[in-house]
Amino acid sequence: MGTIQVELDQDLVDLLEELHRPVKQAARELIVLELYRQGEVSSGKAAELLGLGREQFIRQASDRGIPYFQLDGEDLQRELDASKKL
């Protein structure tokens, strides 16, 4: 496992401590969630990186406003049309 150092304003560190969120854990979650949101990692890989089950990760991402399905209007319509043919 690699290690990086990040400088954070003391106000942010204090806020995380008040919320009882370890800084290391919060940073890891935010990085993985952002990689997932950008489509850089799958939900399965993101779950693995956070030590969660896939369903648990999907729920956590959804709770933070990151949808599991990211389809635009055209993609959604194609999916609906395809499902009607089944």
pLDDT digits (tens, 9 = 90+) for 30-76: 999 999 999 899 999 999 999 999 999 999 999 999 987 766 677 66
The single-letter code of the amino acid at 36 is Y
10 φψ region: left (φ > 0), alpha (ψ -120 to 50), beta (else): alpha
Q: What is the pLDDT of residue 73?
A: 72
* Pairwise CA distance, residues 74 & 41, whole Å: 23
Look at 23-27, 30-34, 77-81 and tell me which has the smallest mean pLDDT.
77-81
Cβ atoms of residues 47 and 56 within 8 Å? yes
